[in-house]
Amino acid sequence: APDREELTWELFGRAERELSAQIVASGWVPDLIIAIARGGLIPAGAIGYAIGIKAMGAINVEFYTGVGQTLEEPVVLPPLMDASDLPGKKVLVVDDVADSGKTLKMVMELLQHRGLDLGGETVAVDARSAVIYRKPRSIFAPDYCWRVTDKWINFPWSVLPVITPSSLDQEGTDQLDERVGR
């Protein structure tokens, strides 16, 4: 079996505080936070609370269809975000991991091209990015990063099986406790 990097809920609690401290220490304060859904939603919410930012948005991007299985390129899916407020703002983009780096690179370029043209003068979007993990092969260097690993990462929000009506009877609390290590 391939070696995995296991992020538990408890370790995630430390990761989001340390990543948030990095952002605050840099002296750059975002006006709003944009999560790359779904992987970046939980990290983005945690960072929002940790640094006291309430303005949150999300952009829905799909790239991975399974462990190591990807589409050709990341694609933006509905619901689409209204980006008309972004020019002139400081925007923190949050994802779980920059692996190939293609997703983050695409989103950062998208935002940078959303600059508003005001009579010859372009009002830029000041965008920075934060991830919990970065892989060494990433073609994009995030501004803030908690750890670097070349392993496949198990995130606590996606490691358990999806709950369906037919799995409910087996999903007793004992078994759930066992799976999450309580």
Interacting stretch for ligand 5GP, rule CB under 6 A, among 12-20, 24-32, 100-108, 161-169? 100-108
Comparing CB distances to ligand 5GP, the nearer of 25 and 67 is 67
* Among 8, 22, 60, 100, contact with ligand 5GP (rule: CB under 6 A): 100
* Among 56, 64, 87, 128, contact with ligand 5GP (rule: CB under 6 A): 64
Comparing CB distances to ligand 5GP, the nearer of 46 and 104 is 104
What's the closest the beta carbon of residue 71 comes to ligand 5GP, in angstroms? 10
The reply on whether position 155 binds ligand 5GP by CB under 6 A is yes
What's the closest the beta carbon of residue 120 comes to ligand 5GP, in angstroms? 35
Nearest partner of 129 among 11, 14, 28, 6, judged by Cα: 28
3-state secondary structure the chain: CCCEEECCHHHHHHHHHHHHHHHHHCCCCCCEEEEEECCCHHHHHHHHHHHCCCCEEEEEEEEEEECCEEEEEEEECCCCCCCCCCCCCEEEEEEEEECCCHHHHHHHHHHHCCCEEECCEEECCEEEEEEEEECCCCCCCCCEEEEECCCEEECCCCCCCCCCHHHHHHCCHHHHHHHHCC
* Among 30, 43, 48, 74, contact with ligand 5GP (rule: CB under 6 A): 74
Residue pair 48/56 in contact (Cβ under 8 Å)? The answer is yes
* Among 46, 99, 145, 146, contact with ligand 5GP (rule: CB under 6 A): 99
* Among 30, 33, 42, 95, contact with ligand 5GP (rule: CB under 6 A): 95
Interacting stretch for ligand 5GP, rule CB under 6 A, among 25-33, 94-102, 112-120, 169-177? 94-102
Residues making contact with ligand 5GP (CB under 6 A):
39, 63-64, 74, 95-104, 152-153, 155, 158
